[in-house]
């Protein structure tokens, strides 16, 4: 075995440990009885620690150096680049800090739940202060060129910089705020019929039909239900999703299935040669989210999609939907309404929720504001961005678990993903002139093949920025997304923009 093969063999074992942990997590969220909580937390900690220790071992560093002369092909070169970056980052964070963060997160998550029950931010504030202080320490350990937030962003969106996010978001914000204001003044379409009682078995059956049609491979995946829908991969040949069915909302389960399947299609579409290596993953959270959003919004909330699927949905729910026209249904699933809760937001207002979180995170990490300033800052920004004000902190600053989980720098990837999805879909439409007609027949074969060829297969071999530049011909910008919403919602609402 040469040094490259020896390196790959060690990396393979690290990957196995991580995938075993992911399987335990999947089980915890889907099938595990509540009694399993304590043992599962211990088992996960053991596996994750083992994986981390094996990966940061000095021998990996030595093999990385030695392997440079034994790389078999271009894929091997890409592998060394990615592993070198991961290795340097992982070794920069001292063990003590990793441990302190894990402990702080454990306490903060519990405090966040208590704070939500009591509707009292003060219960969480001290824990959040600790999380922020540790993240600042982590950013300093990792290092950065311009801005401390860069070090944290790098974890989720490699290669992206705070200044670039700021520029993208401010061009988005400048057009989006007036557009949302204008839409909010229009009469909203009726959507009450979406919220009748809908049998969950019918919803499940319809969702499975949709997943089959878009090309989700059930020989290499499965769908289950969980409280918070997610997708997870144990191998390129085993990529699972979950959904959540609401007996009083016929579309929430469908859009959640489409979203998670979009993530899963990305991972099922990786080049099989990347199996069991660090390259077998989405290249960034933004790129991952672009795939989920493309299937959820550009496809799932489009008129051609429902031209095919609406009659099928009506067949499952004749008493609720037989008197509702396709047009009325299409308008209802695209209803825009500024609201306080991010996860319930429509595709137009959603990004404003992210812009707000990005601004606050940046100020927290730059120590311009403290955790205790958050409720006031949050509510002021909600008013400025969306024209609504949460009536309490549960609907405001306490709504997301991300900060309690220690994840700072994660939120901007949601909007980056939305912007990428529109830029990618615009190119797909140009490359596939029949795309709308195929969608209206329920045939997504060409679209999926196009996404696989240009994006999915590469995994982490190319950065998100490189893929965007190579296959859309442009650097990432807010313009395609703004054009997409302007065109779509200009038809649905009497607006000028
Ligand atoms: Zn997602």
d(CA 391, CA 412): 25
Average pLDDT over residues 341-349: 95
d(CA 189, CA 186): 9
pLDDT in tens, 425-481: 999 999 999 999 999 999 999 999 999 999 999 999 999 999 999 999 999 999 999
Q: What percent of the chain has pLDDT over 70?
A: 100
CA 289 / ligand 1 centre spacing (Å): 5
d(CA 277, CA 393): 43
Report which of 135, 131, 115 is spatially closest to residue 123, judged by C-alpha positions.
115
Check whether 159 has a pLDDT greater than 80. yes
Band (pLDDT 50/70/90 cuts) for residue 497 is low
Average pLDDT over residues 243-255: 96
List CB contacts of 307: < 8 A, sequence separation 6 or more: 326, 439, 440
Check whether 75 has a pLDDT greater than 80. yes
d(CA 214, CA 220): 14
Sequential DSSP letters for 128-142: HHHHHHHHHHHHHHH
336 burial (CB, 10 Å; 0-12 / 13-18 / 19+) is buried
CA 22 / ligand 1 centre spacing (Å): 17
d(CA 346, CA 184): 12
User: Tell me, what DSSP letter sits at residue 69?
Assistant: T
- Asked if residues 54 and 10 have their Cβ atoms less than 8 Å apart, the reply is yes
CA 292 / ligand 1 centre spacing (Å): 6
Q: What is the mean pLDDT of the chain?
A: 96
The phi, psi pair for 240, rounded to 5°, reads -105, 155
| Lookup: tokens for 390 | 């949460």
CA 260 / ligand 1 centre spacing (Å): 6
Task: List beta partners, residue 243.
Answer: 225
User: Tell me, what DSSP letter sits at residue 323?
Assistant: T
Q: What percent of the chain has pLDDT over 90?
A: 96
pTM to 2 decimal places: 0.96
- pLDDT at residue 388 in the model: 96
For the chain, give the longest Cα–Cα distance: 70
77 is catalytic: no
- pLDDT at residue 494 in the model: 84
Catalytic member of 260, 267, 361, 362: 260
- pLDDT at residue 139 in the model: 98
**Structural domains of the chain, ranges and CATH numbers in brackets:** 3-143 (no CATH), 162-492 (1.10.1370.30)
CA 455 / ligand 1 centre spacing (Å): 17
Average pLDDT over residues 351-372: 98
CA 386 / ligand 1 centre spacing (Å): 22
- pLDDT at residue 74 in the model: 96
CA 343 / ligand 1 centre spacing (Å): 11
CA 486 / ligand 1 centre spacing (Å): 23
Average pLDDT over residues 324-335: 97
pLDDT in tens, 319-329: 999 999 999 99
- pLDDT at residue 95 in the model: 87
| Lookup: tokens for 56 | 């940061």
Tell me if residue 475 falls in helix, strand or coil: coil
CA 118 / ligand 1 centre spacing (Å): 29
Q: Tell me the C-alpha to C-alpha distance, in Å, between residue 322 and each of 316, 336, 450, 472.
A: 10, 24, 36, 41
CA 262 / ligand 1 centre spacing (Å): 8
List CB contacts of 402: < 8 A, sequence separation 6 or more: 408, 410, 411
d(CA 216, CA 300): 14
Report which of 159, 245, 238, 249 is spatially closest to residue 208, judged by C-alpha positions.
245
Average pLDDT over residues 108-133: 96
User: Tell me, what DSSP letter sits at residue 297?
Assistant: I
Average pLDDT over residues 250-265: 97
The length of the chain, given as a count of residues: 497
Q: Please, what sign has the CA dihedral across residues 150, 76, 49, 95?
A: negative
197 burial (CB, 10 Å; 0-12 / 13-18 / 19+) is exposed
Task: List beta partners, residue 239.
Answer: 233
d(CA 55, CA 62): 12
């Amino acid at each position: 075995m040469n040094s490259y093969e020896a390196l790959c063999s060690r990396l393979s074992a690290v990957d196995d440990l991580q995938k075993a942990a992911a399987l335990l997590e999947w089980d915890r969220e889907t099938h595990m009885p509540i009694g399993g909580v304590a043992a599962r937390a211990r088992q996960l900690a053991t596996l994750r620690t083992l994986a981390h220790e094996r990966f940061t071992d000095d021998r990996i560093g030595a093999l990385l150096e030695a392997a440079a002369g034994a790389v078999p092909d271009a894929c091997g070169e890409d592998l060394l680049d990615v592993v070198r970056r991961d290795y340097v980052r992982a070794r920069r964070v001292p063990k003590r800090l990793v441990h302190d963060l894990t402990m702080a997160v454990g306490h903060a998550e519990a405090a966040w739940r208590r704070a939500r029950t009591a509707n009292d931010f003060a219960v969480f504030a001290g824990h959040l202060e600790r999380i922020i202080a540790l993240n600042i320490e982590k950013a300093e350990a990792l290092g950065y060129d311009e801005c401390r937030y860069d070090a944290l962003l790098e974890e989720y969106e490699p290669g992206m910089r705070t200044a670039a996010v700021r520029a993208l978001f401010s061009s988005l914000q400048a057009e989006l705020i007036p557009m949302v204001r204008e839409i909010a003044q229009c009469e909203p379409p009726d959507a009450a019929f979406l919220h009748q009682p809908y049998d969950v078995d019918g919803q499940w059956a319809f969702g499975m039909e949709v997943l089959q049609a878009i090309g989700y491979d059930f020989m290499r995946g499965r769908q289950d239900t969980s409280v918070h829908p997610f997708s997870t991969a144990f191998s390129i040949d085993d990529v699972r999703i979950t959904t959540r069915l609401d007996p009083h909302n016929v579309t929430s389960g469908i859009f959640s299935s489409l979203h998670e399947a979009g993530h899963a299609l990305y991972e099922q579409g990786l080049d099989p040669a990347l199996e069991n290596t660090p390259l077998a993953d989405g290249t960034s959270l933004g790129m991952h989210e672009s795939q989920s959003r493309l299937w959820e919004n550009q496809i799932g909330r489009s008129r051609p999609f429902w031209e095919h699927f609406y009659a099928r949905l009506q067949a499952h729910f004749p008493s609720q939907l037989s008197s509702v026209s396709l047009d009325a249904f299409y308008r209802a699933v695209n209803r825009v309404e500024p609201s306080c809760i991010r996860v319930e937001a429509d595709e137009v207002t959603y990004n404003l929720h992210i812009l707000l979180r990005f601004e606050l995170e940046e100020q927290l990490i730059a120590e311009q504001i403290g955790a205790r300033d958050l409720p006031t800052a949050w509510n002021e920004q909600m008013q400025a961005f969306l024209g609504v004000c949460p009536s309490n902190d549960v609907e405001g600053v306490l709504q997301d678990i991300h900060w309690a989980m220690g994840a700072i720098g994660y939120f901007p990837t949601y909007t980056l993903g939305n912007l990428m999805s529109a830029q990618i879909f615009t190119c797909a439409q140009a490359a596939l002139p029949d795309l709308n007609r195929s969608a209206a027949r329920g045939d997504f074969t060409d679209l999926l093949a196009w996404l696989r060829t240009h994006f999915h297969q590469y995994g982490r071999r190319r950065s998100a920025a490189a893929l965007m530049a190579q296959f859309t011909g442009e650097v990432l910008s807010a313009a395609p997304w703004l054009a997409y919403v302007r065109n779509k919602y200009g038809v649905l609402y009497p607006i000028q923009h």
